[in-house]
């Protein structure tokens, strides 16, 4: 399975999945049949993370073809991403604390042999070694495999989740600050305190379709504990009134401006920001190239709308002192850059689907799920 790098490729993938495989999703989604057989899942996350296709268009296309009752599980998963994002937006310190702790663990583990063996796929656990290779070469792992991987990393190899989350972000094409950080916290047992995810021999055997047997793991580990609690920050995510003729910035999480809520507004210039500079977490060359090609594809499509759009480096946004707008980059490294440079002239534009959804992210996903019909009704 390869990930091509254009919006047209992503749309084809989505349409094929809706047409051929979506109705089997609920039954088969938890199986990792291996890299040559990914029909049971959509493999859309590298595109959705970059906004090359977005959740609203996915849901609308799904519901054009299938009844909600038949596609509910898939729609729920699509909205999990928005839920995790909203959860982190309401508690941005979880991200900043993650980066602080990551630095501490990097230093502490800089000569740790187990850590380097894990990252080079040189452990005594064959499936884990294979997944390391797959992660580095395919830049994607099945969701269940991500759970097993993280669980083995934390509970059997006894390594800090923070370093594992960094390893994922470095190599995943869909690397995303919210889904990744909170996914790892969830496996560790600190996202839902006291509830961890323990990978087990039988579960791996069954859901890899017997590809891996007799996997020896620590199946009795206790959840990790964090004493830190986070209160909910106040942010109403309201959009400013847009003045015509200003500049718009697009970061690498929103690469389909032409179908965005703001497509009809008159921006003077559109600048797509190459966010690969000045990162705390360095991305692999393959991920960098994937991002660059997606940015380039957005540029080509934008040239039909506005001739003066271009790709700039993130530090160049400091050159603009007048008001500029930015499609909201969300909690993560791009927003950190804006905040740490105190770029107060940048006004954020929030997507309607986020504005609608994030108000329900103060509690758990089971609570959020109740609002899904309401969210869908208001976006379509």
Ligand X SMILES: Cc1cc2nc3c(=O)[nH]c(=O)nc-3n(C[C@H](O)[C@H](O)[C@H](O)COP(=O)(O)OP(=O)(O)OC[C@H]3O[C@@H](n4cnc5c(N)ncnc54)[C@H](O)[C@@H]3O)c2cc1C
The nearest distance, CB 80 to ligand X, in angstroms, is: 4
| CA–CA gap between residue 86 and residue 340 (Å, rounded) | 21
> Could you give the angle at which helices 161-171 and 177-188 cross, rounded to 10 degrees?
150
Residue entry with tokens 């996350």: 45
Closest residue to ligand X: CB criterion: 183
Contact 326, 343 (CB under 8 A): no
DSSP 13-80: HHHHIIIIIGGGHHHHTT----TT--TTS---HHHHHTTSS-HHHHHHHHHHHS-HHHHHHHHHHHHH
Tell me how far apart the alpha carbons of residues 139 and 46 are, in angstroms, rounded to a whole number: 9
Choose, by CB under 6 A, the member of 54, 56, 84, 115 that binds ligand X.
84
> Does residue number 208 form part of the binding site for ligand X (CB under 6 A)?
no
Is there binding between residue 333 and ligand X (CB under 6 A)?
A: no
Shortest Å distance, C-beta 294 to ligand X: 14
Region near ligand X per CB under 6 A, out of 75-83, 94-102, 271-279, 352-360: 75-83
Considering only the stretches 146-154, 212-220, 263-271, 325-333, report the one whose residues sit in contact with ligand X under the rule CB under 6 A: 146-154
Which of 31, 33, 80, 262 forms a contact with ligand X (CB under 6 A)?
A: 80
- Binding-site size for ligand X (CB under 6 A) equals 27
Out of 10, 22, 102, 187, the only residue in the binding site for ligand X (CB under 6 A) is 187
Smaller CB distance to ligand X: residue 123 or 248? 123
Binding of ligand X by 146 (CB under 6 A): yes
Closest CA to 368 of 146, 45, 90, 64: 90
How far apart CA 68 and CA 61 sit, in angstroms, is 11
**Cβ–Cβ < 8 Å for 144, 207:** yes
Which of 245, 218, 74 lies closest to 148, judged by CA? 218
Q: Using the rule CB under 6 A, which residue among 5, 179, 191, 334 binds ligand X? A: 179
Regarding 153 and contact with ligand X (CB under 6 A), the answer is: no
Helices and strands of the chain, counted as H and E runs: 17, 5
Helix runs in 269-364, H state only: 285-303, 333-340, 352-358
Nearer to ligand X (CB atom), residue 127 or residue 150:
150
How far apart are the C-alpha atoms of 118 and 159, rounded to whole Å? Answer: 9
Residues of this chain, 243-272, that bind ligand X according to CB under 6 A: none
Interacting residue with ligand X among 183, 189, 223, 329 (CB under 6 A): 183
Q: Which stretch binds ligand X (CB under 6 A): 59-67, 119-127, 141-149, 238-246?
A: 141-149
- Show the tokens assigned to 43: 């493999």
Q: How far is the CB of 346 from ligand X (least distance, A)?
A: 25
Of the pair 44, 317, the CB lying nearest ligand X is at 44
Q: What is the smallest separation between the CB atom of 174 and ligand X, expressed in angstroms?
A: 4
Which range, of 43-51, 206-214, 258-266, 329-337, touches ligand X by CB under 6 A? 43-51
Q: Binding residue for ligand X (CB under 6 A) from 49, 139, 203, 357? A: 49
Region near ligand X per CB under 6 A, out of 42-50, 119-127, 198-206, 325-333: 42-50
Cβ atoms of 196 and 183 closer than 8 Å = no
Beta-strand relationship, 324-327 and 310-313: unpaired
User: Considering only 41-49, 108-116, 209-217, 229-237, which stretch makes contact with ligand X by CB under 6 A?
Assistant: 41-49
Q: Which residues bind ligand X (CB under 6 A)?
A: 29, 41-45, 48-49, 77-78, 80-81, 84, 143, 146-147, 150, 168, 172, 174-176, 179-180, 183-184, 187
């Amino acid at each position: 399975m390869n990930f091509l790098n254009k919006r047209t490729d992503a749309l084809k993938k989505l349409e094929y999945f809706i047409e051929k495989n979506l109705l089997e999703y609920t039954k088969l989604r938890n199986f990792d049949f291996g890299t040559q057989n990914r029909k049971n899942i959509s493999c859309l996350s590298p595109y959705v993370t970059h906004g090359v296709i977005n959740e609203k268009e996915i849901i609308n296309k799904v519901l054009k073809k299938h009844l909600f009752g038949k596609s509910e599980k898939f729609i729920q998963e699509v909205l999990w991403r928005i839920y995790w994002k909203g959860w982190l937006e309401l508690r941005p310190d979880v991200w900043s604390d993650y980066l602080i702790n990551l630095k501490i663990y990097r230093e502490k583990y800089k000569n740790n042999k187990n850590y380097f063996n894990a990252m080079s796929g040189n452990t005594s656990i064959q499936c884990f070694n294979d997944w390391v290779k797959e992660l580095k070469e395919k830049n994607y792992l099945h969701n269940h495999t991500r759970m097993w991987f993280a669980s083995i990393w934390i509970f059997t190899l006894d390594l800090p989740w923070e370093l594992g989350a960094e390893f994922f972000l470095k190599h995943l094409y869909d690397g995303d600050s919210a889904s990744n950080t909170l996914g790892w916290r969830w496996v560790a047992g600190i996202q839902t305190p006291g509830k961890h995810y323990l990978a087990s021999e039988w579960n791996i055997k069954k859901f890899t379709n017997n590809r891996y047997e007799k996997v020896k793991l620590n199946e009795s580990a206790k959840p990790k504990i964090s004493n830190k609690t986070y209160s909910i920050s106040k942010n109403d995510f309201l959009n400013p009134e847009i003045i015509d003729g200003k500049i718009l910035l697009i970061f690498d999480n929103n690469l389909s401006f032409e179908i965005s809520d703001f497509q009809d507004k008159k921006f003077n210039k559109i600048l797509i920001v190459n966010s690969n500079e000045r990162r705390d977490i360095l991305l692999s060359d393959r991920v960098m190239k994937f991002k660059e090609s997606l940015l380039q594809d957005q540029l080509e499509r934008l040239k039909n709308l506005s001739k003066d759009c271009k790709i700039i480096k993130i530090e160049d946004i400091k050159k603009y002192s007048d008001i500029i707008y930015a499609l909201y980059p969300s909690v993560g490294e791009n927003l950190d850059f804006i905040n740490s440079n105190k770029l107060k002239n940048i006004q954020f534009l929030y997507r309607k689907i986020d504005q609608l959804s994030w108000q329900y992210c103060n509690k758990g996903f089971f609570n959020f799920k109740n609002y899904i019909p309401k969210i869908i009704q208001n976006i379509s």
